Structure 1
């Protein structure tokens, strides 16, 4: 594994704010012992890191946990994460806990994630939820590139405010974008959103309908229509609203809820039901989710 510091960002670039970058490259190795996926490249700067890779599903599927030791993202912070999965390699990444976006007196906090999956590769990006505190000024950008025959499981869960503590999202702004490109460079999915604290859209039936937790689950891979129809009929946890869409070979699940836990449970249920056929593996929960 190659480890290198990235000189593109300087810790002094923004006084009092975290500037961090993490680049991970997973590659498939074929030798006398059979095929395996290894973390071949690791470049990091600042408070973003990754734990030692684990192989609970065997040598071809590598599990890794992305860590942000400060535990929260404040105004002026800028985090960059790049994950590359090489041809035929397989990786699952998650986080140990919720990402907390704190209130800001003015500067915006930003997160930029780039995910790239080469031909025949498989990536599962399954982080725990993001909690956007009242007063936060935050922006999250995600760009995904899929090679020919690449498989993907991606989810994003956002909690506006802290409903479990009766603290709604009354001030600030949450900006979010997601772009997925295919092997030919064509955009297969594009979404941009901007939600303001206290805005009428948060309570409107045309918006979030008073439900402060929202989520998107996207799967790319082969799936029989009958199987998808059966999964759509699975009962959802109480208090969770679900909506399914199929866009060519992308399967999209939308969700709204009053709390993060039942929405995450709904996503786990859908992922468990679809993973064997769509991603070619029986579902195995990351160990960190049980801690």
Structure 2
């Protein structure tokens, strides 16, 4: 029960990955409530692909989700989701999700869930923390759609609060705290969303060659996109009005990045083809 006496639907998922005989495999899968993973896939290069499931199909007011993920040394994992994450109208109650990730030396995680849809009236509190050991690497991507523009149902009530922090050996590499209410002037501001309803982010914890950076800047997109190289993080962003267009841009950028970040071609998870 929460402080208002309303039942809370709590779900947690704990995942651990290790390298065994040149292959990355799950060594711990533990869940409580409606969070699961499908059977993992080991790619020809030895990396592991895993798909997270949330059987209820949506997150309602009062729900609390917690994900705890750890990679042992040399593990190489891509995690995605089986479908869009839907945050429904909370009718005055917030829903929460916490993601905690620990990456050991020389491990590498690509965190690339399918799009997040924030329905009108949703009150979302999301926290992401990534802790990286030396030479560990993170590729983090997300697409967030506010409201359902195609159904003429804009995001007019509620808020989106997200805190994302990336640390390496107690040194903060990246920190972004977003507080975006439906009434916030940033929706229309030129330094905010500029009247758009979809945001995509792609982040890599390291440097990329300038030629690759320029290729990504030149990608065609049905919206606006940009990228910047910071000392410890490369960051790209898209804003527009179509989750499909955002995903098309993000996947195209990922394909250009992979030869430099993963030293191989970017295999497409099967779930992305359905």
Give the secondary structure class of the aligned counterpart of 2:86.
strand
From 2, 6, 27, give the equivalent of 1:40.
27
What does 1:112-191 correspond to in 2, within 5 Å?
112-182=98-168, 184-191=169-176
2:256 paired with 1:273: yes
Structure 1 residues 164 and 112, CA gap change in structure 2 (3 angstroms): same
Taking the aligned partners of 2:162 and 2:126, their CA distance within structure 1 comes to: 5
Structure 2 residue aligned with 1:71: 57
Give unpaired runs (5+ residues) of structure 2.
none
Taking the aligned partners of 1:261 and 1:226, their CA distance within structure 2 comes to: 26
Structure 2 residue aligned with 1:197: 182
Measure how far apart 1:198 and its partner are: 3.2
Structure 1 residue aligned with 2:8: 17
Q: Is the 8 A contact 1:177 1:191 kept in 2?
A: yes
Give unpaired runs (5+ residues) of structure 1.
1-9
Measure how far apart 1:222 and its partner are: 5.1
Measure how far apart 1:276 and its partner are: 1.3
- Cα-Cα RMSD: 1.5
The total of aligned residue pairs comes to 271
Give the secondary structure class of the aligned counterpart of 1:73.
coil
Give CA deviations for 1:111-164 in whole Å, capped at 9, x if unaligned: 001122111111111001111110111111110111211122111211111111
What does 1:198-213 correspond to in 2, within 5 Å?
198-213=183-198
Taking the aligned partners of 1:173 and 1:230, their CA distance within structure 2 comes to: 35
Once superposed, which parts of structure 1, at least 4 consecutive aligned residues long, lie more than 6 Å away?
none
Measure how far apart 1:59 and its partner are: 5.9
Taking the aligned partners of 1:225 and 1:59, their CA distance within structure 2 comes to: 27
Give the secondary structure class of the aligned counterpart of 2:41.
coil
Measure how far apart 1:211 and its partner are: 0.4
Give CA deviations for 1:161-214 in whole Å, capped at 9, x if unaligned: 1111111111111111110001x2100000001111133221222211110101
From 88, 94, 97, give the equivalent of 1:111.
97
Taking the aligned partners of 2:128 and 2:162, their CA distance within structure 1 comes to: 8
2:200 paired with 1:215: yes
TM-score where L is the length of structure 2: 0.95
